Amino acid sequence: MGKLVHCAAAVALAIGSGAVLAQASKYPSRTVRMIVGFSPGGATDIIARYLGPPLTESLGQSMVVENRPGASSQIAGDLVAKSPPDGHVLMMTTQTLMTSAMIERKTYPDIMKDYSHVALTATSDLILAVNPSLPVRSVKELIALARARPGELNYASGGIGTTLHLGGELLKTMAKVNIVHVPYKGPGAAVIAVLSGEAAFYFGSGPTVAPHVNTGKLRALATTGVKRSKGFPHLPTVSETVPGHESTQWFGFLAPAGTPRDIIARVHAAIVAAVAKPKVTEQLAAVGSEPVANSPAEFAAFITAEIAKWGRVVKSGVPLE
């Protein structure tokens, strides 16, 4: 009897494995949805749309960008985590999915447990930009103005726990200034607030800020990387004035946990091919972003390191407003 049970289990396992392989070999069998947790116009949305056409070409099926903004990308994250693990629903995410959960002490979705990691796609330094009416032309002058007018200067972000929010909190803590955080429903809305003068300044990604800096509608003061940005080499870093200040945004692909490895490999290969295309590389460079396309294992290790890094920042006391 034991042998029969064992044989039955072996047959079931073989059938199950065969079904997975068959599923993977047919992937994709329909349109692939790329879920973005922010409204149109933000960096994640812009980069997702750069990648959509070459991914469509590589996969042989349409890759459609679908915006599901709200709750600092947790609404989109929940949708993807609960989707069938067949590779037809993917998420283009940033560290916001991770940090917003830390700040609001939520356990779901868990960026390590609830997803299959596909690839880190690109990184981008943030740009500290101000409304041109603000009488400052450097980080030093911004800090001096904030100290002269404590509690009066506000900065916009795309929501609580976003990289844009944490960049401002780092400046607040490290420069010892009293500035006020104003969260908006996505980076697109946040940059509009700075353009209109409703907010004084903004830590924004290159894709969101660069077009407005180029037309003079925003004034860029600095970038937030460890060293000067290749895309904006003329700008100093914030750390040149506030040593130790560093905040880099990253963009990567996730799939629901349990997605077959063959499907992950297929998507990963398509991403590698997409970011290697000269047009995509040029598009990313124009907005201060650099292509990465590392392996699924490297992406998972990268996120683990990011959890440790930003966990220390959050524990130091980031306000929930």
Tens place of pLDDT per residue across the chain (321 aa): 444 444 444 444 444 444 444 455 689 999 999 999 988 888 889 999 999 999 999 999 999 999 999 888 899 999 999 999 999 999 999 988 988 888 877 777 899 999 999 999 998 889 999 999 999 999 999 999 999 999 999 999 988 888 888 888 889 988 999 999 999 887 888 999 999 999 999 998 887 888 899 899 999 999 998 888 887 889 999 999 999 888 888 999 999 999 999 999 999 999 999 999 999 999 888 777 889 989 999 999 999 998 988 887 777 666 545
In the numeric block, which tokens belong to residue 193? 């607030």
Superfamily of domain 125-240: Periplasmic binding protein-like II (3.40.190.10)
User: Comparing 28-124+251-315 with 125-240, is the CATH topology the same?
Assistant: yes
Neighbours of 3 (CB within 10 A): 7
Q: Which fold has domain 28-124+251-315?
A: D-Maltodextrin-Binding Protein; domain 2 (3.40.190)
Give yes or no for a contact between 202 and 98, defined as CB atoms under 8 angstroms apart.
Answer: no
d(CA 313, CA 321): 16
| Secondary structure E strands in 32-113 | 32-36, 63-67, 89-93
Cα distance between the two ends of the chain: 63
Give yes or no for a contact between 68 and 79, defined as CB atoms under 8 angstroms apart.
Answer: yes
| Secondary structure E strands in the chain | 32-36, 63-67, 89-93, 115-130, 154-157, 180-183, 201-205, 219-223, 248-256, 289-291
pTM for this model (two decimals): 0.77
Domain extents in the chain:
1-27, 28-124+251-315, 125-240
Give yes or no for a contact between 200 and 131, defined as CB atoms under 8 angstroms apart.
Answer: yes
Neighbours of 210 (CB within 10 A): 22
